[in-house]
Amino acid sequence: MKKKMSDYRSATRAVRAGQVRSQEAEHSEPIFTTSSFVFDTASQAAARFSMEEDGNIYSRFTNPTVRVFEQRLAALEGAEAAVGTGSGMAAMLATCMAGLKAGDHVVSSKSIFGANQTLLKGLMSNFGVQTTFVSLTNLDEWREAIQANTKMVFFETPTNPLMEIGDIAAISEIAHSANPDIKVVVDNCFCTPILQQPLSLGADVVLHSATKFIDGQGRCVGGAVVGDNDFVGEKVVSFMRTAGPSLSPFNAWVFAKGLETLPVRINQACENAMQLAQALLEARSVKAVYYPGLESHPQYDLAKAQQSKGGAVVAFELDGGKEAAWNMIDNTQLLSITANLGDTRTTITHPYTTTHARWSEEDKAEAGITPNLVRIAVGLEDVRDVIDDLNL
Ligand SMILES: Cc1ncc(COP(=O)(O)O)c(C=O)c1O
């Protein structure tokens, strides 16, 4: 019997899903750098434009290379549909524009990527969509925040930089039992589908910044929205067609190729992160380590239940204040001082003065973004060199 792609295991789908060979019988996927496509006849053009006939039209919303990336990612997330976007933030914007209108309400975790918070608090409220922010880990707050007009629930797990875990099944159940039409949207950037599949736990939509682990070598900016045919395949596609924050074929090609090696890369990065976290636990200069792969993490059991590994990001507090953190960062020779993550190169960041610098002192204190906090996104160097570089 002929197997379907969904019959294969995850690493096989990462390598094989989504490819349609052209008449040239190429082994590796080509890049279709064309803005438009030609039709055999005027009536075929009309049928394509009205969507009566499937096929390529114009690369703002149909491109074969982008489609390979979308189908490969959808196969890994166990989804009906995926839509590539020009950045991770464009994926969030497309989801909001496709799913919300003036008068609607969103419940969001407080601990989300800064630009997502600005988008919800600023941009979306300008268009009459209000958001209530709650603690990711306090389920009562989620329950109490849902209103009759709530249309979307949003969180990321694990969070950046403190690696808190959101209970995907529990939050989805709270939202759907209040109203089955609420879209539960999970930013799966830190885990990727290799470590965690939110749709299988009850979420409706998954967002990605492909810029991170999916590319995996810090080259391109892009993103994706993943979910069902009705919301993602129809509503998000329609927004992309109209508004156009599209993914370029070249970047889609980089991401499609990135997915092929993602299982190997992210599993190795997780092993490295675990070794770093253990070394940090033993270091005298370190006060606290935040890594969900450690038994000392307050949500270790939940992390173990919904993720296959702890992830590649480790945060820790040093003895002392900002000086201690900056000293450690400035004394490294190998690590890259940059805020990006998910790269082969290990990166080191001081969240208090970079990624979270625009937050108020109160918000930072409440979220645990302290002056002595350092975040490391572990890459693929020999982790012993990474640990040595920190002079612990
Ligand atoms: C968790 C998370 N979500 C979304 C984004 C936004 O992605 P992009 O930079 O690709 O727009 C980022 C980027 O840093 C992120 O860390």
Between strands 105-109 and 130-134, the pairing is: parallel
Ligand 1 contact via 156 beta carbon (within 6 Å): yes
C-alpha of residue 46 to centroid of ligand 1, in Å? 38
User: Ligand 1, atom 6: nearest CA belongs to which residue?
Assistant: 88
Between CA 4 and CA 7 the distance in angstroms is: 5
Three-class secondary structure of residue 174 per DSSP = helix
Decide: residue 221, CB within 10 A, 0-12 exposed, 13-18 middle, 19+ buried.
Answer: middle
Whether 5-258 and 262-389 share one fold: the answer is: no
At the top level of CATH, the class of 5-258 is alpha beta
For residue 30, which of 259, 243, 252 has the smallest C-alpha distance? Answer: 252
Element (H, E) at 224: strand 223-227
Question: Ligand 1 atom closest to Cα of 156?
Answer: 1
C-alpha of residue 210 to centroid of ligand 1, in Å? 8
User: Ligand 1, atom 8: nearest CA belongs to which residue?
Assistant: 88
Question: For position 350, what pLDDT does the model report?
Answer: 97
Ligand 1 contact via 87 beta carbon (within 6 Å): yes
C-alpha of residue 53 to centroid of ligand 1, in Å? 35
Tens digit of pLDDT per residue, the chain (392 long)? 899 999 999 999 999 999 999 999 999 999 999 999 999 999 999 999 998 999 999 999 999 999 999 999 999 999 999 999 999 999 999 999 999 999 999 999 999 998 999 999 999 999 999 999 999 999 999 999 999 999 999 999 999 999 999 999 999 999 999 999 999 999 999 999 999 999 999 999 999 999 999 999 999 999 999 999 999 999 999 999 999 999 999 999 999 999 999 999 999 999 999 999 999 999 999 999 999 999 999 999 999 999 999 999 999 999 999 999 999 999 999 999 999 999 999 999 999 999 888 888 988 898 899 999 999 999 999 999 999 999 99
- The two tokens of residue 323 are 């000086």
Ligand 1 contact via 371 beta carbon (within 6 Å): no
What is this structure's pTM? 0.96
Ligand 1 contact via 185 beta carbon (within 6 Å): no
Q: Alpha carbon of 111 to those of 131, 157, 292, 370: distances in Å?
A: 14, 9, 16, 14
C-alpha of residue 71 to centroid of ligand 1, in Å? 21
For residue 171, which of 187, 190, 154 has the smallest C-alpha distance? Answer: 154
Ranges of beta strands (E only) in 245-365 are 286-290, 313-318, 336-337, 347-349
Question: For position 140, what pLDDT does the model report?
Answer: 98
Decide: residue 95, CB within 10 A, 0-12 exposed, 13-18 middle, 19+ buried.
Answer: buried
In order, the DSSP letters of 16-79 are HTT----TT--SSPP----SB---SSHHHHHHHHTTSS-S--BTTT--HHHHHHHHHHHHHHT-
The CATH fold assigned to 262-389 is Aspartate Aminotransferase, domain 1 (3.90.1150)
Ligand 1, from 157, 189, 191: best to mutate by most atoms within 8 Å of Cβ?
189
C-alpha of residue 266 to centroid of ligand 1, in Å? 17
**Residue ranges of domains in the chain:** 5-258, 262-389
User: Ligand 1, atom 2: nearest CA belongs to which residue?
Assistant: 113
Any idea how long the chain is? 392
Question: For position 303, what pLDDT does the model report?
Answer: 98
Between CA 377 and CA 342 the distance in angstroms is: 7
- The two tokens of residue 266 are 């992210």
Ligand 1, from 209, 220, 338, 343: best to mutate by most atoms within 8 Å of Cβ?
209
For residue 9, which of 252, 193, 226, 268 has the smallest C-alpha distance? Answer: 193
